[in-house]
Amino acid sequence: MKNTLTPLKGKIKSYDYVGFDVETFGDENEFYSGGLYFYDEKGNEKFEYYTDKFKLIEAMLSRRFRNKTIVATNLGFDLTTLFFDTPFWNDIQLTSRGSDILLATYKLKNNNGKIKIIDTFNFVPYSVEKLGTILKSDKLTKPSFWIKKSNGDYDAIKPQNRNDEYELMIYNKQDCKISCDFMYFMQKGINEAGGNLKITIASTSLDVWRRSHLKENITKENFFIPEIKDFIFEGYYGGRTEVFKRGYFENLNYYDVNSLYPSVMIKRYPLPQSIQRVSTPMIKYIQDYEGVTKCEVITPHNIKIPLLPKRENSKLKFPKGNFIGVWNNVELRKALEIGYKIRPIKQVIYTETFNPFESYVKTFYKKRLEYKAENNPMQLVTKLLLNSLYGKFAQKEKQKMTINNLDYLSDDLKKQYLISPDDLTIKNNYLIKILKEDFDGLFSLPILSSYTTSYARLLMYDYLVKTDPIYMDTDSIVTKSTLPESKELGDMKLEYFVERGIFVKPKFYMMNDDVKIKGVNKAKVNDFFAIIDGKTVNKIKFSKLRESIRRGIKPNTKINVPKNMSLNDDKREWKENFISLIENKNFEDSSPVEIIDDDCVMNTESYIKEFGRD
C-alpha cells in the first residue's frame, strides 16, 4: 500500500567506498593534485595520485567505480575544485539541502550505471582531523613547505621540489584514507545495529528503525484526510532558544539534558491512522485525546516564562498576550494547567496512541553507555542513531540541482532547457536549474516529529520554571541554581562551570573563553568584544557554489566577509542599555514580549478588561 510505512525485510548489505580528496593552492584554491584511496577484493589498500586534473576525473568516472561509492569530507569543496571549470561539470546532477551538496551523480555512457559521490558531512559535521582522531588514524601535520600565518592558519602553496611533492602526496593519501575508513567504520556500526548505511544519517536511522524496531504498519494521515499534513506542520516547532537575563555574570552552571530528544521518544505518540476530523472543536477533545488544534489563547497576564511558541517574522518567540496559533494537544493541556485560556477553532484528534520508538531508544542508549564505558568510538554511531531519527518524518521537500556552463552546452540542450524558463536562472554564463519537489514519501509522518519537539519543550519548561534561568538553547540551561544530576535519559548533567559569562541574545554569548556568535564562524574573544563595541569583524571564508556563481568568481575562492551584528534581542522585552551593563559588570532581567492579534474573538478589549496592561 503506497500510503503505508511497513517494517523492512531483506539482507543487510555492505558497500565499498573510495576516499577522495584534492589539494589546492592560492587565494582561489586552484587544483594542484588529488587522490583516490580504496581497497581491492583481497582487502589490500590502493592509492592513486594525480597532478593532472583530467586524469583524476577520468579515473573517478570510470566503470571500475560504478559499484563503489566515492566519498569526500566537505564534498562541496573537493567536487567543485575538480570539476567546476571542465566540460564534465554539466553532466553531474546534485542533490542538495540548501547550499550543501549531499550527493553528486554521474551517469556512465551506454547505460553502464552511475558514479555516486557523497560527503562524510552527511553523517557528522567533523573535519578530517576529528574523524582521524575517532578512527585512531591521525591526520598528518600540514606540509612543511606551506606558510603558517600568525592566526595559526596556513597558506597552501605549490611544492617546490621532489621532497615537497612526496610530502604532499603522503599528506593527501592520509586524508583520502580517513574519509574512506570513516565510511567503513560507520557501515560496521550500522550493520551491527541491524540496518544499511544510506547517503545521510537521517535516512540511515530510518532504515535501522524500520528493520529492527518497527513492529506495525503506519498509514499516513493524508490517506484519510487529504492535505491535513499541512495543518499538522503548522503545529511543528523547533527547540527553544532564549536569553532571560543578559549582561555580565560570574559563577554559573551550564547544564544539559542527557539525550533530550531520545529521552522523550519513549513516550506514547498519536497513531497516524487513527486520525479524525472534529466538526465542532472543543476543549474536551484537547483534554481527552492527542491531536492538533488551531486555537486562540490568552496567557496568564503575569507569566514570566510563557509556554506556547509562536512564529513571528520567521522567529520563534514565546510571548504573553492574546493570539492565535496551532499547537499539539499535549502542550495545550499543559497550557490549560498553568492558566492559559483557550478557544479551539480547528481540530483533528487521534483516537489511539502507540509506542513506536521505545525499544529503539532504549537499545541504543544502553549500547551507547556501554561503548562510553569502554571508550569505544562506536559510541558515536549510537549517538547519531539516537539523535537523527525523529526529524526524518518531517521531511518536506527534496531538491535536485544542475548548474551548466553555457560554454560547454550544446545548442540543442540550450534550446531544450530554455523551453521552461521559469525553472531557470542564468548568471555569469551559468544556467542554474533547481527542481524542488514536495516530499510525500511513506515516512512523511510529521506528527511524529512534531510530538517529539513538543515533548522536549515541555521537559525543558519544567526545568525552566523550577530554576532561575539566564540562558537556554534547546537542551541546555545556564543558571546560578544547582540541579540534581544523573546519567539517566532526560536527566540533567553539569556540562561545565562558567567562571565568567556574557549573554547578549540567542546564540550570541561568551562563557569562559568559549564564544558563540551566530553568523560568525570560529569567533574568538576579540571578535566578541569588537562586535559589542560596534566594530566590524572581518572573516575569511571560502565561497560556496551558488554564491560563487552569483559573484562571478571561482568556487572556493577566499573572500573577506565583514560582520557587524545588532545587539538587539526582540525575543524578550529589555529596558537597560546593554553596553552600560557590560561596562558596569552588571546584568538585567527581562519580561516576555506581548503579542495581541487583531483577529482574536477574545479580542484586545476583553484582554485588557480582564487583565489590564502593564
pLDDT at 324: 97
Least confident of 68-72, 141-145, 605-609: 605-609
Task: Look at residue 318 and tell me if it is in a domain.
Answer: no
Give yes or no for residue 610 having a pLDDT over 80: no
Task: Give the whole-number percent of the chain exceeding pLDDT 70.
Answer: 96
Q: Residue 597: what are its φ and ψ, rounded to 5°?
A: -75, 135
Q: Give the Cβ contact number of residue 341 at 10 Å.
A: 18
- The pLDDT tens digits for 83-92 are 998 999 988 9
Instruction: Report residue 364 CA to chain centroid gap.
Output: 21
What the block records as the C-alpha cell of 158 is: 605549490
Quote the number of domains for the chain.
1
491 near 481, Cβ under 8 Å? no
3-state helix, strand, coil in the chain (%, to 5): 35, 30, 35
Query: In the predicted model, what is the mean pLDDT of residues 415-424?
Result: 65
Burial class (CB in 10 A: 0-12, 13-18, 19+), 193: buried
450 near 425, Cβ under 8 Å? no
- CA nearest to 88, candidates 67, 110, 101, 106: 106
Q: Give the Cβ contact number of residue 106 at 10 Å.
A: 20
- The pLDDT tens digits for 515-570 are 999 988 888 999 999 999 999 998 888 888 888 888 888 888 988 888 888 999 99
Task: Look at residue 162 and tell me if it is in a domain.
Answer: no
Task: Look at residue 51 and tell me if it is in a domain.
Answer: yes
CA–CA dist 59, 63 (Å, integer): 9
Give yes or no for residue 611 having a pLDDT over 60: no
Task: Look at residue 157 and tell me if it is in a domain.
Answer: no
Helix extents (H) in 493-583: 525-532, 545-551, 578-583
Task: Look at residue 519 and tell me if it is in a domain.
Answer: no
pLDDT at 403: 81
Task: Look at residue 40 and tell me if it is in a domain.
Answer: yes
pLDDT at 614: 44
Give yes or no for residue 363 having a pLDDT over 80: yes
Give yes or no for residue 436 having a pLDDT over 80: no
pLDDT band at 218; cut points 50, 70, 90: very high
46 near 212, Cβ under 8 Å? no
Task: Look at residue 116 and tell me if it is in a domain.
Answer: yes
Name the pTM for this structure.
0.92
Q: What is the DSSP letter of 27?
A: T
Task: Look at residue 134 and tell me if it is in a domain.
Answer: yes
Per-residue burial over 388-414, b = 16 or more CB atoms within 10 Å of its CB, e = otherwise = bbbbbbbbeeeeebbbbbeeebeeeee
Give yes or no for residue 421 having a pLDDT over 70: no
Q: Residue 470: what are its φ and ψ, rounded to 5°?
A: -105, -40
CA–CA dist 274, 290 (Å, integer): 10
Query: In the predicted model, what is the mean pLDDT of residues 134-162?
Result: 89
Domain residue limits at 77:
15-144+171-181
CA–CA dist 344, 326 (Å, integer): 10
CATH number at residue 32: 3.30.420.10
Helices 128-135, 162-193: inter-axial angle, 10-degree rounding: 60
pLDDT at 452: 98
CA–CA dist 59, 375 (Å, integer): 39
Determine how β-strand 594-596 pairs with β-strand 353-354: unpaired
